[in-house]
Structure formats: structure tokens, C-alpha cells
Amino acid sequence: MNWVRELLNLYECNTDIVGQEVKGRFGEDVVLLPPYHTTQKATVTVKLLPNGTFLGAEKVAKDDSVTVIPVTEESAARTSGSAAHPLCDNLSYLAENYNEFAPDFDKLSSEKHRLYLNGIKDWAESEHSHEKVRAVYEYIKEERIITDLINSGVFETDEDGKISDIKQAFVRFSVEAEWSDNSPPSECWLDTTLRDSYIEYVKSRSDNTEISYLTGEVVPISYLQPKKIRNEGDGAKLISSNDSNGFTFRGRFSTAEEAFAIGYEESQKIHNALKWIIRKQGSNFGGLYIVVWESAMNPLPDYSLGTDEICSAVKEFTEEDELYDTDAASAARFESAMNGYSKTTDYSSKTVIMALNAATPGRLSVIEASELSTSQYLENVRKWHNDCGLIHLSFKKGMPKYYGVPGLKEIACILYGREKISGDEKLLQSFCNRLRPCIIYGKRLPSDLVNLAVNKASSPASFDTKSRDWERALSLACSFIKKKEIENRSKEDWKVSLNTNSTDRSYLFGRLLAVADRIEYLTYTKDEDRLTNAKRYMNLFSRQPMKTWANIHDRIIPYLQKLSIRQRIYYEKLIGEITEKMSEADFADNSPLNGLYLLGFYNQSYALNKKKDQEENENE
């Protein structure tokens, strides 16, 4: 797949919303940037009249700080040295007397200010000028911006006359013209006429034309590529060649210009499209960013979300329909959601997948760029959720239950622990890279992840009894086991409901363990939360089932005596029925059980819980 071409197509297909704010995946505002613009977190807004007269200034709220600003090719890629933005910039560029107020002397301050003044002067005096640009230029020439900011209360000086946070100050401008219905916004960063003015100004000055390696056309070329791709603080670049004294070209080329040449406007569109789609619907896994989009920008289910989150994202469902803890109702709800996504696409629709990661702080790599038909993507996501479908305990407030499978990050937290995942980005990245193909491309589930889930669920004693994390580990392990059985083309039909016809040795031993667990649990008082003998011996039971079962059975006899006669008869009979399904050789076999014993435990526990709920309803 040519990911550069896909990003260029993405930009061209969305030119009607360039510069407009749309909602990102977490409700934040994101903007598809016009060419020759970037975003910057502003800290100060300076208000002017059209003649450049200072009106006032104020600090910018954090939730309103992201600002679209025009940039030059050099300033967009600046990391050190001097390269001025054309309009909005740091005070070290805007103020000639910056060093009088800065705690740390900036030896480049005079050079920065000279570059800024020359740049804005050229724009203000060009045929593509704008009244707001002229207003800012007239004001900056007065060399009083820091004094005005102090007098407005934006900054405070210490006893030495210095401003402690002056280095972090980034100034944006608002020009308050006479208002009318057709007037553009006063804010420079919202004025589309100002943006258009700068785009035409840049095009009129472009004289470095070469053949673009992307299109083969002779166009203005860019050798300095933008940053801030994954987020506003991202310094890594996709394309870079600044190691002229090292071994970058390995003898193949004499200069960076021979190695690559991309049209300036094309580069802007490609990078801006990538920034936009990542902020709009990308996922972050410890610095590994993955983004999936449909060719016509129709909505797609997020592969990384859990079943309940995918269903909740579909607006047609009412609040009453939000939570289901039965497999039939929840499965139908999920199918309805997936069918809704399918109706928005056609046979020509394709889905693009990109994954990006930074090997070093300054270098960003595309570790995956692929595409598949949208129908296949939807089918693979559907199959993942159906094959792994069981009842799980949500991490949401109140911990409701739902049918399906947890999201990718939740699975990582269950397998490795939330603290470990939050503190080990490499682990989260590695896990995502291994499980993602199973969801998106329908690849087989790695056996070691299944074994990890089984081992985790087989040790309930290692969990806090009040956290209910073991329940999540158990249901996840059972989902993985179910998925693996389907991949191995098992003839059994594993569901939430109990499979009373199964004669599998591991499954039956798991059922026995669940009955023992239920017998002891029924005798607990209201505030009692200790582990049952069945759970305490679960790990040993999985390794030596026959020998351990004899020990567990002896320990549950006193608890059986505490039950009512009706209950005691029921559970003794149930143990007998399960045991009878095993051959004498299987029951006497003390070899380790496979993961199906957990599914037997899970199904039998679910059946007993359901029976208890039915009895309580009948008594009411």
C-alpha cells in the first residue's frame, strides 16, 4: 500500500472541512489544517485595533490553547536555532527587549526578532497582505509588547524585574474590527480569509522547483518536514535527513536533495491529513499510534474497543438498552450495531490501517501500512467478538456485566496488571502488535497469550478478594479458550450456557470444582469474603486434578451438612451426574488439565447463579 498516496487522497476528500473544528475520539476539537499551517499551544492573547493600537491582553485557558498558526517551511520544522513564524510566536521573537525581562539570557534573541520583523514586513507589504497582518506589524514595530503585557496583568515581575515564565509565553493576536454580519472573526486563528491570504503569499514566493518524487510534476519542493504528528508535543518526524556528516546516505547519494524530493504543498497535505486522522480517531498504546479509517470517511467500529463500547457508540440504542448480561440479547445487540456499520459502505469501500512508532525521540517510523476491503474488516471484527463472546465484568462504574469481549487495553491490564501496563510502554506496544492482527486480519490467537490467561485465572489466591479482578481474569481466559477451540475446529459449541453433553475430562473436572465452590459459598455470612477451598486449591487442582479433588471433596462435606436437605440432595446428585460422565480411566487420570477446565468452571458457575436467581424470583 502507498500510504503517502492514501493520506493525500484523505486530505483531498475532506477539503470541504479544512480549518473547521470536528470532534475527536474523546470529545476534543480537532482541525484538518490548511497547507502551510500548524498548531501551537498559545498562552497569551493580545487584542489590537486595525491600526495596530493595543486594546488589552489576557491569558489563554488550557482548554482553549490549541491555536492554528501560519508557518514557514523552516519554522514548522524548527527544533533549535532561529526560524520565525510569520504571525504568532514566542516573545523571544516578538520583543526586541526580551533579554531585559528574561531570567536566562538568550544570545539569539536579537537575531530571532530581526527574522520575525523581516518576515511579517514582507507579508504585510505584499500583494497578498491582510488587514490583520498589517495591524500586528504596526503594533510590533512599537517595541512595547512586554510592557503592555505587564501593565495588563498578564505577567508579573520579580524583585529583579524579571518574568519567571516568559520563556514559555506564546502570543496569538485578535484584531477587533468594526463588527457586521459578514465580518470575519476577530481572532486571527479563526479567520479563514487570513489563512487564504497566507497560502497565496507562500505560493507567490515559491521559486525552488524540482521534480516531486511523489507525482513526477515540477513543483516547489520541501526538504524540511513537519513534526507534531502524533500529538502537540511530538518532535519526531516521518521524513528527515539532517545527518550530513554521518552515514545517512551510505554512499548512494551525495546530498539529501538527491535522496528524496517531495512537493511542499503535497508534504503539507500528507502530514496535516495524518495529524488530523490520528487526533480524530487514532489509538495510543504507549507511544504506538494506530489509526484506521474508511476510504469515504464512513464510521467504522473501533477494533480496539470492547463489545459493550462498540454497541454504546451506536446512537440508535436507548439508555434502557445499554446493558445486557445475557448472551442472546447482547449478541443480538452487537449484530445490530455491526449491521448498522455495514449499511454505510459499498463494495468499493476499503479500510486503511496505519501504525506509527518512534524508535528515537526525533525519528518516527511507519511500522504498518495496509488496506483491506471494509466488508472484510467488519467481518473480522465481528468474528473476533463473536468467537470470544462470553459474559464479562465491566470496568465501568457499578461494574455492570455484558456479553462479548473486553477492549484491547483492558485485556492487557487483565493479563499483566494495570500498574505494570501503565509503567511499561514497551510491554503495551508489544502486546498491541501481537493481538491487533487477530482482530483486524483474523489471524490466529497466539498460544502463549492463551496460556498466560489460563495461568492467571488458575491462581485466584493471588488476587484481592474485594477487587473482582479474578472474575475478569477468569472470563477473559474462557474467552481465549473458546476462541482457540473455534480455531482448532472443535466440534463442541462453547457458549455461556452449560454444555451438559460434553464428556471432555478437563471440562468435567472444571464443573466439579464449580459445584464445590458453590456449596461452600452458600454457607457464607453476609460480610464474609474469604476464598473457598475450591479457589484456594485451584492452581494445584489444574495440575493434579484427581488427587486434589479428593482433598477438596473431603473439605466440602462439613459445608454440605449446613445446607438445607433440599440443597444437599441437589448438589450431591449434581456431583454424581458429573462424575458419571467421566470414564473410570479419565477420573483416575491425575495428569494436568487443559484450559477447558476453566470453561467448565465458568459455565457451571453461571448455571448455578442463574438457578439461584430463578429460585429467588419464584420466592418473591
- 131 and 115 in a common domain: yes
Question: Last residue of a domain, which of 153, 184, 205?
Answer: 205
Are 26 and 55 in a shared domain? Answer: no
For 412, counting Cβ atoms within 10 Å of its Cβ (0-12 exposed, 13-18 middle, 19+ buried), the class is buried
pLDDT of 464 above 80: yes
CA gap 487, 441 in Å, rounded: 14
- The answer to whether residues 211 and 270 belong to one domain is yes
- pLDDT of 133 reads 97
Q: How far apart are CA 291 and CA 276, in angstroms?
A: 10
Give yes or no: residues 8 and 124 share one domain: no
Q: How many domains does the chain have?
A: 3
Q: Do 610 and 464 share a structural domain?
A: yes
The amino acid that residue 452 corresponds to is L
Claim to verify: residue 222 and residue 95 sit in the same structural domain: no
Q: Which of 285, 314, 336 is the last residue of a domain?
A: 285
270 and 163 belong to one structural domain: no
14 occurs within a structural domain? yes
Residue 241 belongs to some domain of the structure: yes
Q: Does 612 lie in the same domain as 491? A: yes
**Both 95 and 217 in a single domain?**
no
Domain residues for 124?
34-205
Distances (CA, A) of 287 to 175, 425, 433: 39, 7, 12
Most confident of 342-346, 392-396, 569-573: 569-573
* Average pLDDT of the chain to the nearest whole number: 88
The answer to whether the CB of 40 falls within 8 A of the CB of 170 is yes
- Same domain as 222, residue 278: yes
Inter-CA distances, 122 with 92, 125, 205, Å: 20, 5, 10
| CA–CA dist 291, 281 (Å, integer) | 6
pLDDT of residue 543: 95
- Same domain membership, residue 201 and residue 65: yes
Is 60 exceeded by the pLDDT of residue 620?
no
Residues 6+ apart with CB under 8 A from 187: 45, 172, 174
pLDDT of residue 600 exceeding 80: yes
Contacts with 102 (C-beta within 8 Å, 6 or more apart), sequence order: 92, 109, 162, 163, 166, 167
- Listed in sequence order, the residues at least 6 apart from 208 whose beta carbon sits closer than 8 Å to its beta carbon are 220, 221
For 546-564, write each residue's pLDDT tens digit.
999 999 999 999 999 999 9
Angle between helical axes of 469-487 and 447-457 (0-180°, round to 10) = 140
Q: Are 389 and 479 in contact (CB under 8 A)?
A: yes
The total number of residues shown for the chain amounts to 620
Supply the pTM of this predicted model.
0.83
Residue 380 placed within a domain: no
In this structure, which long-range contacts are made by residues 585-592, counting pairs with CB atoms below 8 Å and at least 24 apart in sequence?
Answer: 586/505, 586/508, 587/546, 588/546, 589/505, 589/545, 589/546, 590/544, 590/545, 590/546, 590/547, 592/542, 592/543, 592/544, 592/545
Residue that is last in its domain, among 158, 188, 205? 205
One domain for residues 452 and 556: yes
pLDDT digits (tens, 9 = 90+) for 309-324: 888 877 543 344 444 4
